[in-house]
C-alpha cells in the first residue's frame, strides 16, 4: 500500500492551528528546511494523531511506533505537500496507511501461527447508550472493546467516531461502497453494545 496515496482526497482548506500560528507559514518554513517549524507542526498535531491511531491499534507501543514512522514519512514527503490543503488530513492518511500495513503484517503472522479469530454474535439493540459512552474515550475499557472488533469493522468505527468522517469520506478512504460503510458501522456498534452492556 502506498503510504501517502489518497492524501489529496483527504485534504481540506488550510485552517489556523490550535496555537493560532499560521499553519501555512510553518509548512513553508519546514519545506525550506526549518526543522523547528516542522517540530511545531508535529506538536500541534501529535495528540490528535495519537488518539486516532490508538483507536485503530489499541497498543501504546505500536501507536508510538506508527506515529513516529508517520512523522518521518511526512518529513520525507513534505516537498510534495500541496499548500492549498490542510496538514492534518494529509498526515493522518500517512499514519492510517502505516497502521493498516502493520495490521496486515500482524494478520498474516497470526494466520501463519493458525490463531483463532475472535468475534461476537451481533444482537439487535438500541444504540443510544453507546453514543454516550463513546464521549468518554479515555476509558480503557472502551478502547479495549474497540480492539475486539474485527479489523474491517474497527476501521469504519474509528474513522466515523474518532475522526468524524462522513460515510462518503469513509467509503473513499477504505475504497468500499457507502452501503458497506453503513452495514459495517452498524455491526461494529452492535458488537460494542454487547461487549459493554454491563457498563450501559
Residue 98 maps to which CATH number?
Answer: 1.10.1740.10
CA angle in degrees (0–180, nearest 5) for 60-71-57: 30
Q: Are residues 53 and 21 in the same domain?
A: yes
* CA neighbor of 67 nearest in space, from 80, 88, 50, 45: 50
- The three cell numbers of residue 20 are 493560532
Q: What is the pTM of this model?
A: 0.55
Mean pLDDT of 136-153: 77
Reading phi first (left if > 0) and then psi (alpha if -120 to 50, else beta), residue 11 is in beta
Q: Are residues 145 and 84 in the same domain?
A: no
- Reply yes or no on whether the pLDDT at 134 is more than 60: no
Give the total number of structural domains in the chain: 2
Q: Are residues 20 and 98 in the same domain?
A: yes
Query: Which pLDDT belongs to residue 19?
Result: 41
Mean pLDDT of 13-34: 71
Q: Are residues 107 and 153 in the same domain?
A: no
Distance of CA 89 to the CA centre of its chain: 10
Q: Are residues 91 and 165 in the same domain?
A: no
In whole angstroms, what is the distance from residue 180 CA to residue 123 CA?
Answer: 18
- Does 94 reside within a domain? yes
Query: Which pLDDT belongs to residue 162?
Result: 83
- Does 144 reside within a domain? yes
Q: Give residue 49's pLDDT band: very low, low, confident or very high (50, 70, 90).
A: very high
The radius of gyration computed from the CA coordinates of the chain, to the nearest angstrom, equals 18
- Does 164 reside within a domain? yes
What percentage of the chain reaches a pLDDT higher than 70?
71
Q: Are residues 148 and 99 in the same domain?
A: no
Q: Are residues 14 and 108 in the same domain?
A: yes
Mean pLDDT of 55-65: 84
In whole angstroms, what is the distance from residue 9 CA to residue 66 CA?
Answer: 22
Q: Are residues 181 and 96 in the same domain?
A: no
Q: Are residues 140 and 185 in the same domain?
A: yes
Q: For residue 149, what is the DSSP state?
A: S
* CA neighbor of 187 nearest in space, from 133, 127, 109: 127
In whole angstroms, what is the distance from residue 41 CA to residue 25 CA?
Answer: 10
Mean pLDDT of 110-122: 40
Query: Which pLDDT belongs to residue 72?
Result: 87
Backbone angles phi, psi at 120, to 5 degrees: -130, 155
Q: Are residues 79 and 162 in the same domain?
A: no
More confident residue, 119 or 6: 6
User: Please, are residues 21 and 101 in contact by the beta-carbon 8 Å criterion?
Assistant: no
Query: Which pLDDT belongs to residue 28?
Result: 92
Q: Are residues 146 and 103 in the same domain?
A: no
Query: Which pLDDT belongs to residue 142?
Result: 80
Distance of CA 194 to the CA centre of its chain: 23
Question: Which residues span the domain enclosing 75?
Answer: 7-112
CA distances from 2 to 46, 68, 83, 95, 135 (A): 22, 17, 21, 11, 33
Amino acid at each position: 500500500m502506498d503510504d501517502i496515496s489518497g492524501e489529496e482526497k483527504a485534504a481540506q482548506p488550510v485552517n489556523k492551528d490550535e496555537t493560532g500560528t499560521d499553519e501555512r507559514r510553518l509548512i513553508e518554513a519546514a519545506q525550506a528546511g526549518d526543522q523547528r517549524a516542522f517540530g511545531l507542526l508535529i506538536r500541534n498535531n501529535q495528540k490528535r494523531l495519537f488518539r486516532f491511531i490508538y483507536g485503530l491499534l489499541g497498543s501504546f507501543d505500536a501507536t508510538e511506533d506508527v506515529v513516529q514512522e508517520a512523522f518521518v514519512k511526512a518529513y520525507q514527503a513534505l516537498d510534495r505537500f500541496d499548500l492549498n490543503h490542510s496538514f492534518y488530513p494529509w498526515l493522518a492518511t500517512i499514519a492510517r496507511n502505516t497502521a493498516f500495513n502493520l495490521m496486515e503484517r500482524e494478520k498474516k503472522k497470526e494466520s501463519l501461527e493458525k490463531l483463532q479469530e475472535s468475534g461476537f454474535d451481533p444482537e439487535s439493540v438500541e444504540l443510544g447508550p453507546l453514543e454516550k459512552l463513546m464521549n468518554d474515550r479515555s476509558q480503557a475499557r472502551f478502547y479495549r472493546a474497540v480492539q475486539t472488533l474485527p479489523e474491517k469493522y474497527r476501521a469504519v468505527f474509528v474513522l466515523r467516531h474518532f475522526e468524524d468522517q462522513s460515510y462518503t469520506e469513509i467509503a473513499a478512504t477504505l475504497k468500499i461502497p457507502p452501503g458497506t460503510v453503513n452495514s459495517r458501522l452498524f455491526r461494529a456498534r452492535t458488537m460494542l453494545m454487547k461487549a459493554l452492556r454491563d457498563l450501559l
